[in-house]
């Protein structure tokens, strides 16, 4: 996996965690997730939750490079 998609995943996850911790508002969290998936989903695959990526690796749906 190239560094571009990994950077999008990193900053998208960072933004999502920030909104979760700063607001706790479910509407703000949902809107943030929708925005980051709309912006970065086409580039990175849209796994902005590390648990989703991990489960897809264990289900052999994506490569182990996604976890690194």
User: Tens of pLDDT along 12-43?
Assistant: 989 999 999 999 999 999 999 999 999 988 88
- Predicted local distance difference test score (pLDDT) of residue 8: 87
**Reported pTM:** 0.75
What DSSP string runs through 4-41? Answer: HHHHHHHHHHHHHHHHHHHT--HHHHHHHHHHHHHHHH
Whether residue 1 has pLDDT greater than 70: no
Q: What's the pLDDT score for residue 36?
A: 92
């Amino acid at each position: 996996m190239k560094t571009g998609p990994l950077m999008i995943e990193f900053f998208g996850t960072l933004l999502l965690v920030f909104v979760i911790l700063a607001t706790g508002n479910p509407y703000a969290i949902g809107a943030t997730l929708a925005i980051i998936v709309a912006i970065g989903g086409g580039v990175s695959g849209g796994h902005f939750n590390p648990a989703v990526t991990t489960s897809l690796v264990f289900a052999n749906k994506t490569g182990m490079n996604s976890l690194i």
